[in-house]
Structure 1
């Protein structure tokens, strides 16, 4: 557990001046005169986006969906998935995010105590006492220390054109 917390605390200190992204939470407003209102995404803080992880000053989250806030508009869609993503982007705008703001939604909190007990929580797990991270459920685990080094470097110095 100490090794896991040390890695995360070290990552936070290395990221202190790096840009953060918005973390939002979807809420369903109460009905107004019996009429349902559209959901909105309200602010829940900020985090450093490190691939499958969102690192906040006091927690670690598993990344969900990423949307850019945009003004509601009438649009035609050929795919239901496009419609759903547009609705999320509009919900972020209704929640108060400025147009174009990147917002993370659908994230889940990672239970660091469970990981310390040897259980997996989100993409984190322990293998022979070493904190590991998985890119996908079917993917192999890689050491969290190397993963954080790589993702922090990419965040601090993104590739040209990114």
Structure 2
């Protein structure tokens, strides 16, 4: 089965399932020499399936994921914590509801190119079978199996998730 067909099949199974926000990090120009706050602006919604994000008509590779929250002054033991807190505050400033998950830094994937034999992000065609690299250190697994597992998890989350 083609990559395109597998993605379409997953979309049909996901109809009515919850989606998460897609956002874009916007750094406004200075106004009269004064810097303005960075914001994350909503750019749509997608189903989050591990390393893939599916919209109604596109397939994206995940980037950073943050949960919007108001800015709170606090001490940080690591610069990465400070950066994540800044992103969470930027999401709230951009109008993302507090506590809502938003994906930023995502990458548009070319599913048709994968079907022609080229790689696109975590998607490849190996020995005629569409496959996905499910983690940076992990190997490739058949896309059909990956989508079945991820769609099932999204539709039937484990208790307490």
What band does the TM-score fall into relative to the shorter chain? over 0.9
> Is 2:47 aligned against 1:48?
yes
Determine the C-alpha separation between the residues in 1 that align with 2:6 and 2:113.
16
Give the deviation of 1:107 after TM superposition: 0.8
Map 1:77-156; keep pairs closer than 5 Å.
77-156=76-155
Contact 2:17 2:154 in 1 (8 A): yes
TM-fit CA distance, 1:29: 1.1
**2:148 counterpart SS class:** helix
What RMSD in Å do the two structures reach over aligned CA positions?
A: 1.1
Say if 2:4 and 2:112, in contact at 8 Å, map to a contact too: no
Unaligned runs of 5+ in 1: none
Alignment match, 1:71: 70
Number of equivalences: 161
CA contact (8 A) 2:91 2:102 kept: yes
Question: After the TM superposition, which of the residue ranges 2-11 and 71-80 deviates more from structure 2?
Answer: 2-11
Structure-1-length-normalised TM-score: 0.95
Q: Give TM-score, length-normalised by structure 2.
A: 0.96
Per-residue CA distance 1:39-94 (angstroms, 9 max, x = gap): 11101100000000000001000011110000112111111010000000001011
